[in-house]
Structure formats: C-alpha cells, structure tokens
Amino acid sequence: MSVIAIGSDHAGYVLKSAVADWLKEAGHEVLDLGTNGGESVDYPDFGRAVGEAVASGKAEKGVVVCGSGIGISIAANRVKGARAALCMNGLMARLSRQHNDANILALGERLIGIETARDCLNEFLNTPFEGGRHQRRVDKLSA
C-alpha cells in the first residue's frame, strides 16, 4: 500500500494512535511524526512536519489531529504543496479528495467520535481526485 504520515499534538494523541492502528490494519506504512504522549506540545511543529513529508513525496498522504483540527490544519497548509482538509464527516472527506485533491486529512479529536473519524479516514483514503474542471482550481492553489 502507501506511506501515510501522521502527526498530532497532545490533544489529538489518542485519536492519532487509533488512526495509526487503522492504517496498519489496512496494510499502509505509517510514518509517525509525533507527538508520542499526552504532554503539552505545540501543534504547529507537527502540522508542519506532516505537511513537509507529504509535499516532499516522503509520504503519499497525511493525517493530522489536534483538539479541534483547526490549528494543525492551518500549520500543515503553510507548507507549499500541502492541501490539508479539516473534515467532520465522511462526505467532507470524500469531497476534499474528489474536488480539492486534498493530500492531508485533518481531524479534531474533541469534536468528532471515533466511528466518524474512521469513516473520514476511509473516505479520504479510498476516494480518487476527479480531475477535469477541478484540476485548474487545484493548480491555482499552488500558483
């Protein structure tokens, strides 16, 4: 399968750990960029690390998690070539792939349940980019 980079701050650590397990069960290689516990850390460090791993090609896709998903998605999106989408349900995750060619899924541990997070991950990993009219829009994101 593919290499998926994951990262979280302390507020997303529990969900990040579950995501890592799900990815491994599905046969993916997990590039865990931290954090590795519940001690307070700064989400920009981990969002940037995942963004850089995906943008450089070290990982095909990424998953970032913090309490709300907002801060870490902003951090990941500061990296040129990273397209992180904060998703609250499977439909958002599917559309982020189909229309925006998102390459990083952002989740908020404090805002969604475990089954919803798993649905988001499945839709994100299994939905292809549609291209076509969406490609020129995605190209503008990198311009």
d(CA 31, CA 3): 7
99 catalytic residue (yes or no): yes
- Selected catalytic residue, list 10, 28, 87, 99: 99
- Whether 1 has a pLDDT exceeding 90, the answer reads no
Kindly report, residue by residue over 39-91, the tens digit of the pLDDT. 999 999 999 999 999 999 999 999 999 999 999 999 999 999 999 999 999 99
d(CA 140, CA 94): 21
Instruction: List the chain domain ranges.
Output: 3-142
Tokens 């397209």 locate to: 83
Fold observed for domain 3-142: Ribose 5-phosphate Isomerase B; Chain: A, (3.40.1400)
Q: Cα-flanking dihedrals φ and ψ of residue 128, to 5°?
A: -80, 160
d(CA 84, CA 102): 6
- Selected catalytic residue, list 10, 28, 66, 120: 66
120 catalytic residue (yes or no): no
User: What does the pLDDT read at residue 129?
Assistant: 97
pTM: 0.97
